[in-house]
Structure 1
């Protein structure tokens, strides 16, 4: 085993640190707690714990394993509601190691076996049912007594409840176990602690994997379900392709939604909504025209009230002002009697007089002074007045005045031609018509025109231009409107094309794709969380792969091949030999390793064809090899626990029966063996096998019990009977029964006596036969024993006399009618009590005398 331990230690040093820690815990403590498993789940996620280390010594590998304390069943009683058992007294197994429980079919033997299997937690134990021929009981329970660690323990056990832990080590053999070994793969019931460590380690790996899986299952996706109408879109397919390796670039491309995409979507929607593309194109171009007008007006307003035009008006204003000042200075007419000649008011009056003069003096040059009256006051013109009028006209027609008037005209024309300012209502209407119908657009344009209006009002009021702040031209706005106009034209052009040919199905598909992209972009945060979940999910996959028990099972298989399988096969072959079944061509082989356990199965040896065992071997052969497999599996366990056998010799011949009895008696040398049987032959064979082990063994270890059923109730232990008692004791039993029969006759008459005496006569006949076997022939030969036993027995045979034979023969002849069928013409008369008593006592006297002859042997 030292080499095996070194091999295991070497293997452990190739494992990750978290696994080494579990193995060390199993070696030192024998089991793993929930806390150990929880800690392992945490450590397996740690990079440090995933390293391969050599920090442990695993000294526990070489420590000898301890042997468990002895377990013994003492009794089963107070059975209630289980099968048809309801014994008056407990079924007791005493302190001997070998107990044989005999009973006819239906006496309750298998029911007791099923109780023991169930309370000991055997994997193939059946559900304990109540007596189906009676009303269902309120409770199903029994009381069991057993010895554990030298203490007698009594407890009440409820049927089909949890097994009794102390009794789990009991092993049971019955038909179900026999079929299991014949038909199924099975692991060895006992495995050395070092192999048990592998099984526990594999189980721990599986449990850790389950825990990790449970944690992983909690990583539930919170990503909204893709709407049904988007399921088949390209972007939905990309969304479903998300995995732990998805890059940030792919993520950004997936969730990005641009203004161009939004515009494309809106355009597609509108195109799909339109039933008359030509009309829509016309409408769009109308909208475009309005947008162009808004842009043009915006440009005109910017030019009209911008820096350049305001600067131009400033120059015109200054030029008119300067020229008027020069003309005014030159307008000092000497004949004028009043001031301000040449002022604007005066010029207006003068021009009005000129116009009026054409009315009263048509076709005459102004001013008319010859033979004319003043056009203003209608008085006759004197010389001064005429001179004054001519002086005024000369002033007006002078060059300076003309220049002043021309400059003022230019300035006034410029003011008169200033661009008009649209009202708020007009601006709103223009925006609606131009497709610029957002509040932002309206407020923006209103703000611009309000600024222009302020400049215009200041200009019109001829405020000094230097104090006016011109508006800034809205070139950016003009550009946006121009782009808007271009887009309208493009849409209109698209509708023109749509009017000629429009793939509506393709457009619907594109619209659906765009809407899907929009929906996906709205799930940006959820998708980011999902990517984190997928990355975490992948980490769990890696951790679960580390917890895979395959490597443990592989190593367990290699170690078990050396430690278990080889020895298991040897034990099986030895059991076949001890049971006299070596001739049967059967072998035990390893079938596979799973979860750290090695499975074995029985198969035909050297078979040229593939057939199941049950189709080739006889029923008896199948029974004996199943028993051999069972004994090979459990007999060498290093613990003192009971073995239960329910009719182990079913279908076996006499040779196999004797071999089984011998093997079970041998087994009882070290532990408790309970045998339930309905075969008297096995009952006797076990007794003979016990005798072969010595009289002391037979007297101290063999315990024989009989159980019976009565009135539908089974499992009743029966006291000593004529058939299972020694001949001397049997004689005494018959004397006692005869006394009871006499008392029954005295109180109830002859019929009452004969009813009991009939059975006494029958049992007396059987006792005479046993007297021949046990006393006369000194147990050299017996009916229910295959062997002839001569050791220290033949010496008594010479003491047999002719008188002995005649005495026995006479009794046999007299009472054979009570055991064997008689002719209907032959009347069977039951002896009176006195006669029967004399015969029984005569047999007692004969035996006493005959035994005295053999004292010197």
Structure 2
């Protein structure tokens, strides 16, 4: 059962309802982006905006069926590699469509080529370091590859990252990750069509993006209309309205005319300024009340006049009592024969003496005795005569007998004068108060009338004030009549104004009630009119909210469907794919002659939407139990099993894949790699292991390798070289001769030490090849550890003298090159010596 059959038989598919057109389209390979648009228009009733906004969200951008991932079938050439470590490959390097082996010793520069290839192929985790001998920090790798059936050029620079091309890569870092971490099940099985889970999810995500876009746009539209309605018809947002009620709503001509009539009545009522009139009358009431309060008092709405005949008569009596008390005091003083009679009748004299006595009484006892019996209080001279002492004694006696009574009467007179002063101040202020009161006369039928003349009453109070000061006698009847007439006028006016105020306030209450009644009648008519006026906007608002609600609901259903889809994918991967993967993995184990412990387990784990395979040994991870060799075996088995399960066709890259493996397991890895080549894949192998190299290269005379050599400050690649071919020696000899000839065309001072050492490196390597190919006749080599016994006879002609010369020349070239470490340091190479050494090599050891 493939993924399509699995999904169509699932409950998820049968229950998808509104999603079925989309899911069916993907599973039947008939899906187009138009299906999503049609579904959205159907689901969300998009008559308001009949087109789906394609500019912002284009489903084609998310269509996994129409936009497959770029797949590299093979790499045709390496066009150039610039400033990647010590490697600068400027000449195009043509690659084998099958096996490509890069061999070199540790430190020769294989990793430089490897990381450069990784970078250009989008494996961004690999780090490229520019040459330490230059100031240029920009690295460049350019390749030509066969991609999706056509030749394409791919360039990488250190200023950017390339997209991952999905090639199969195996190195020590990946090997460790496979053992130490749970692996994501990125299986891509064509025959099981597991990619349809991804296709469906991506289409659903496209649908979700469009729904979110539509939701955002509809919410924006709804908010704009809401703001408009809140200004024009706010009752829609708070009232109990539905789209159906608004659709059915009408507002006829009769209702319109009724609204106009009621509105005119309301406008007339609102134009009546009762409030201002009431405020002015109430102010007049306050003013008249203040006037009346000055001359009398209110109690329970009854007014009592303070200035009555009795009260005015009491004033006369107060003055009379005062005069009698004063007369008694003055008379006794006069009879004493001490003070002239004319002084006694003088008020100033009386005050003078009284004040003196009060001052003496305020002193301490001994001081009082002094001024009563010995010293004059006025001149501080001794009281020499009996008469002066008698005067002081007499006044003190009179003070005790009459002064308290007299002072009490004086206080009452002063209080009466103070009250009169307040009345006179009020009467003076009437000049500004009367116009404000008279302004309200037209409201109480007193149009054209004036307030009572206040001058007469003012004169009466001035007369009272004069009598109190001069201690004379009031004309009680005349003054009373004047005051009474004045207060009766203002009392009547006060009552009339207050009555009018009550009437107006009652009218105002009636007006307010009438206004409320009119407003109550007008409100539903206004709502009906405005609702009719903005009916289309209100309906649009309701429809937008309905769409928003439906989108929210469908979006939630879509989220649940995506979760269920992930669960179905996990189930499918566990039931179908993981069975095949585990079988392939165990087969790889067997071929590698590896038997894991019985407690070894493989299971799946889903975290979120990510499905992973988990290896364990009881509660331990493989990295905690497996040895280094076992870790390598497991990682290779996992890699090969996944490759076979995915049936991946394309580019494989292996970097030192057999570290920690014995020769038997190396043999299987080499065969497994060659199986990939036989299946039509392009395979790159980077290795320093001669045994493994020999296993990969079955025919040393025909099979070619790319030899990597470190020459002082640069990495050198000898491309497409046979392992045991005399041609390699010829090529190396031509390269040495080419460089020697170039030196001869230059000044000795321009030739650098590095260049000389590089030539010595080539010469020492040539001598090694000479020993293998010429001296030992190829019976054994660095690349093939086994001895060719049928070639041993060719060793009979070896000359011992030639061996001595070869050893001496090899020692010179090795010490002055940089290929080998020197225990005592490498001597500085000299140009002349180099020429002589080359002449000897050319003479004695020519290929």
When normalised by structure 2's length, the TM-score is 0.49
When normalised by structure 1's length, the TM-score is 0.49
